[in-house]
């Protein structure tokens, strides 16, 4: 592993970390709305959220490249404000990752929000708990499994991202060249040893992360204690 | 949560020390890696590369990719960039690429070899002619020999010429129309390859230019002048790119 490999490792972890954090913030209200409200908008919103599951990553990558680039409506707006457009940048692939992993965060959360009884929330409300308190003392503890799965899947799915990043980010070392793209580049340069090391590392890491989640999930009280603090 | 944020901040790298970001055709990879190493040693500036097919890189530049220089295996793409007003300076020719038919095993290939017979039932790697210059040159050669339609069913397409070499090298393809400059030096044995003489050599004119998007134009120009030094003619030839001044 040389310095460019480590650079890609750091970049990949950063991308996964930021994607997961931002997704939890975005997906929580969205999932809550989907789980608790019935509206004519539910079906179209659900369909949009699920789109990345069925669309080829190249389609998402293509649209993002057009929109975030200097001539797209997002990129051009940013440029007219004196900012940089987002194609071929870390911020760009971060946006791509968030959209691409959205269903992996929203769907587990929606499922677990549906399990919460309205009665419990109403009781808390009559005892004077505001929505913020109800959220932290009822929703978070009882849905911690959902949050954990949402976070893990978002993170793991981002590690496995390739097509969107290749299209939208290119392969710029230190900026958009994440591990999956670097492995592709190593194979192309016939650095098989380097490609093998990174692939094996990614395989083991993904396995350990998933295994940790499933092991943790089996302990019914473990998480409750953590959150109760 | 706080700890996680802290960890992320610690991880934030002082974005790489590279001062030059260079987009380069795959056929340039071994040569440019060598030259950049020299450049970094002598001038104390860091260089990073993004390799791909010339067409793909040109499209990325048109779409706003933040590169300082482009090295292309085909003039047409530099022309397209120039038409889009994206070049900051003159187009500089580095030399000429050499198209070869490369075999995964020993094969006596000569000008008399009947390609149709040789490539029958074989898998033949070729870089996608739509955007890869060596693929275009190979397709052009086969068409000119009037055998393209016979060989076409055997062709397997790669995204760029380095991938075509990788296909032959790994044994996935039996033959490949590739750039001499990308074949690993220790495997450039004459018994495994046939150098294809193109009617129109300008097809594989390898050239570079500084881009308008260059953050530090002086440094980009410095790299451009550096690779033009006569002392590197031998290196270019060594890596399979024939410098122009020798031809004149």
How far, in Å, are A90, A104, A149, A209 from residue A155 at the CA level?
Answer: 16, 9, 10, 10
Residue B166 at interface with chain A, using a CB cutoff of 8 Å? yes
Please report, for the domain that includes residue B154, its CATH number: 3.40.190.10
What is the full per-residue pLDDT of chain B (248 aa) written as tens digits?
555 555 565 555 444 456 899 999 999 999 999 999 999 999 889 999 999 999 999 999 998 899 999 999 999 999 999 999 999 989 999 999 999 999 998 887 887 888 888 888 899 999 999 999 999 999 999 999 999 999 999 999 999 999 999 999 999 999 999 999 999 988 888 888 999 988 877 779 999 999 999 999 999 999 999 999 999 999 999 999 999 754 44
B12 touches chain A (CB under 8 A): yes
Tell whether B113 and B181 lie within a shared domain: yes
- Residue B5 lies inside a defined structural domain of this protein: no
DSSP A36: H
Considering the domain architecture, whether residues B59 and B134 belong to the same structural domain is answered as: no
Same domain, B112 and B79: no
Clarify whether residues B189 and B229 are in a common domain: no
Q: Do B13 and A10 touch (CB under 8 A)?
A: yes
Pair B88, B17 in one domain? yes
Residue among B27, B240, B33 at smallest CA distance from B136: B27
**What DSSP letter does each residue of B47-66 carry, written as one string?**
EEEEEE-HHHHHHHHHTT--
Looking up tokens 């901040």 gives B9
For B47, name the nearest residue in chain A, comparing CA atoms only: A173
What is this model's ipTM?
A: 0.82
Distance from CA of A109 to the nearest CA of B (A): 18
Specify whether B179 is located in the same domain as B105: yes
Decide the pairing of beta strands B92-97 and B193-195: unpaired
Bridge-based pairing state of the strands B99-103 and B193-195: antiparallel
Q: Least CB-CB distance to A13: which of B11, B51, B169?
A: B11
Q: By CA distance, what is B9's nearest residue in A?
A: A14
| Domain-located, residue B170 | yes
In contact, B11 and A17? CB cutoff 8 Å = yes
Tokens representing residue B198 in the block: 């193109």
Domain coverage including residue B235? 12-96+205-247
B102 in the same domain as B220 = no
Angle between the N-to-C axes of helices A144-159 and A90-114, in degrees from 0 to 180, rounded to the nearest 10:
150
Q: Are residues B62 and B92 in the same domain?
A: yes
Residues B92 and B41 in one domain: yes
Interface test mutation site (partner A, options B2, B4, B7, B50, max chain A beta carbons within 10 A): B50
For residue B3, CA distances in Å to A17, A137, A191, B8, B10 come to 12, 21, 37, 9, 10
Q: Which of B150, B146, B127 is nearest to B137 (CA)?
A: B127
Q: Is B163 on the interface with A (CB under 8 A)?
A: yes
Are residues B19 and B78 located together in one domain of the fold?
A: yes
The answer to whether residue B103 neighbours chain A at the CB level (below 8 Å) is no
Are B111 and B152 in the same domain? yes
pLDDT tens figures, A155-204: 999 999 999 999 999 899 999 999 999 999 999 888 999 999 999 999 99
Contact B31, B226 (CB under 8 A): no
**What tokens appear for A81 in the block?**
């404000």
CA distances from residue B39 to A206, B219, B220 in whole angstroms, order as listed: 39, 11, 12
Alpha carbons within 13 A on the beta-carbon side of B196: 28
3-state secondary structure of B197: coil
**Inter-chain contact A88–B66, Cβ cutoff 8 Å?**
yes
- What CATH number has the domain bearing residue A136? 1.10.3720.10
pLDDT tens digits, one per residue of B97-142: 999 999 998 887 887 888 888 888 899 999 999 999 999 999 999 9
Half-sphere exposure of residue A145: CA atoms within 13 angstroms, side-chain side:
16
- Per the structure, the complete domain to which residue A24 belongs is given by 3-228
Whether residue B4 is contained in a domain is answered as: no
Question: With an 8 Å Cβ cutoff, are B65 and A7 in contact?
Answer: no
Is residue B7 in some structural domain? no
- Nearest neighbour of A173 by CB, restricted to B11, B16, B63: B16
List of chain B residues whose C-beta atoms are within 8 Å of the C-beta of residue A14 = 8, 11-12
Partners of residue B4 in chain A, C-beta under 8 Å:
17, 21
Assess whether B243 and B156 both reside in one domain. no
Number of domains in chain A: 1
Tell me the pLDDT tens digit for each residue of A108-148: 999 999 999 888 899 999 998 888 999 999 999 999 989 99
Of the candidates B7, B16, B162, the beta carbon closest to that of A7 is on B16
Q: Binding site for molybdate, residues of B?
A: 27, 54, 161
B39 falls within a domain: yes
Extract the tokens encoding A113. 């929000």
Nearest alpha carbon to residue A102 among A169, A165, A28: A28
Residue of B nearest to A9 (CA): B11
Q: Domains in chain B: how many in total?
A: 2
């Amino acid at each position: 592993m040389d310095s460019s490999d480590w650079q890609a490792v750091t970049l990949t972890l950063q991308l996964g970390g930021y994607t997961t954090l931002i997704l939890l913030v975005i997906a929580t209200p969205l999932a809550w709305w989907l789980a608790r409200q019935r509206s004519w908008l539910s079906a179209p919103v659900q369909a949009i959220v699920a789109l990345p599951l069925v669309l080829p990553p190249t389609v998402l990558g293509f649209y993002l490249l057009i929109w975030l680039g200097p001539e797209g409506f997002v990129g051009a707006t940013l440029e007219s404000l004196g900012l940089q457009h987002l194609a071929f940048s870390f911020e760009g692939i971060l946006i791509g990752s968030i959209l691409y992993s959205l269903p992996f965060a929203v769907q587990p959360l929606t499922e677990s929000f549906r399990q919460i009884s309205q009665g419990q929330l109403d009781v808390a409300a009559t005892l004077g708990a505001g929505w913020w308190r109800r959220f932290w003392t009822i929703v978070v503890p009882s849905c911690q499994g959902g949050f954990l799965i949402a976070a893990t899947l978002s993170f793991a799915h981002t590690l496995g991202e390739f097509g969107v990043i290749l299209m939208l980010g290119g392969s710029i070392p230190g900026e958009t060249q994440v591990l999956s793209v670097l492995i592709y580049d190593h194979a192309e340069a016939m650095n098989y040893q380097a490609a093998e090391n990174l692939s094996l590392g990614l395989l083991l890491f993904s396995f350990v992360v998933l295994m940790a989640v499933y092991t943790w999930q089996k302990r019914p009280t473990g998480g409750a204690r953590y959150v109760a603090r | 949560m706080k700890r996680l944020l802290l960890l992320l901040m610690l991880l934030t790298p002082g974005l790489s020390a590279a001062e030059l970001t260079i987009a380069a055709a795959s056929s340039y990879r071994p040569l440019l890696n060598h030259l950049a190493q020299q450049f970094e040693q002598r001038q104390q500036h860091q260089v990073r590369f993004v390799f791909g097919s010339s067409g793909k890189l040109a499209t990325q530049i048109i779409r706003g990719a933040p590169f300082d220089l482009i090295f292309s295996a085909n003039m047409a793409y530099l022309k397209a960039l120039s038409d889009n007003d994206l070049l900051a300076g003159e187009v500089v020719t580095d030399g000429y690429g050499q198209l070869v038919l490369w075999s995964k095993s020993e094969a006596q290939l000569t000008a008399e070899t009947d390609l149709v017979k040789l490539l029958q039932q074989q898998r033949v790697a070729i870089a996608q002619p739509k955007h890869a210059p060596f693929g275009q040159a190979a397709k052009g050669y086969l068409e000119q020999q009037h055998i393209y339609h016979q060989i076409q069913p055997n062709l397997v397409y790669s995204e760029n010429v380095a991938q075509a070499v990788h296909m032959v090298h790994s044994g996935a393809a039996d033959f490949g129309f590739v750039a001499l400059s990308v074949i690993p030096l220790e495997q450039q044995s004459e018994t495994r390859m046939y150098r294809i003489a193109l009617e129109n050599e300008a097809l594989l004119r390898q050239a570079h230019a500084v881009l308008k998007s260059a953050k530090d134009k002086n440094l980009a120009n410095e790299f451009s002048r550096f690779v033009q030094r006569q002392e590197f003619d031998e290196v270019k030839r060594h890596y399979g790119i024939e410098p122009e001044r020798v031809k004149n």
